[in-house]
Amino acid sequence: MYTEKSKKLVRELKTSKWLPPYNNILINEISTEITELHGKLLQSLASQNEALTVLQAGCLNRSKRSVLAYLNFRASKLETLRVENGPSIPPHYSHQLSGDEIDYFRKYSALLQEYSQKVSSHLDLTTDLMPPKDLFIEVRVKEDIGDIVLPVSGQVTFKKNTSQLVRREEVAALIRQGVLQQTN
């Protein structure tokens, strides 16, 4: 059947924890199938076989939508990875990406950084996806870090099982790393 390969491609996304390795072979097979279907569709249009034309057009569109959904989902995951982990791809994820996806990640990262610099030199767009309600947040220290000098707040001592009131943007990276936990 014509759409079995495209169903398999989408099913790979659903069954994986993060992203499955990029399946270039299956995408090329689906591309060949789409080209073949296009030729058959033109023949059925010429022979004015409506039922076959509708069936082939539906299969062709389904295969195209499946590949586009696969690629869009992967691009979305890469954008989320950039926001959550910063401008470098963690080593345990890099083997699952194609060369084009790694290039996309780098270009997306550069565009995000360039835009952040144009908007404000003091604003990190990746800190919060939703606008913060307060400038300061209360955090609970999960690991003993010691003294840290923060850009605006100055020197702050982070001892295990203590709470601190700090500026959100200064400790966002420590919260993402799991060293601090936001309590309010």
| 86-142: pLDDT as tens digits | 888 988 898 999 999 999 999 999 998 888 888 776 666 776 667 767 788 899 999
82, 26 Cβ separation under 8 angstroms: no
133 vs 22, more confident: 22
Clarify whether residues 75 and 38 are in a common domain. yes
147, 155 Cβ separation under 8 angstroms: yes
- When divided into structural domains, the chain yields a total of 2
Q: How much is the pLDDT for 151?
A: 84
CATH code (residue 22): 1.20.58.1030
Partners of 181 in the β-ladder = 140
Q: How much is the pLDDT for 56?
A: 92
| 37-73: pLDDT as tens digits | 999 999 999 898 889 999 999 999 999 999 999 999 9
Clarify whether residues 94 and 29 are in a common domain. yes
Domain boundary among 70, 94, 119: 119
Clarify whether residues 104 and 158 are in a common domain. no
Range of the domain at 158: 136-182
**Local confidence band at 9 (pLDDT 50, 70, 90 cut-offs):** very high
Q: Does residue 130 fall inside a structural domain? A: no
- Computed on alpha carbons and rounded to an integer, the radius of gyration of the chain in Å comes to 24
Q: Please say if the pLDDT value at position 1 is more than 80.
A: no
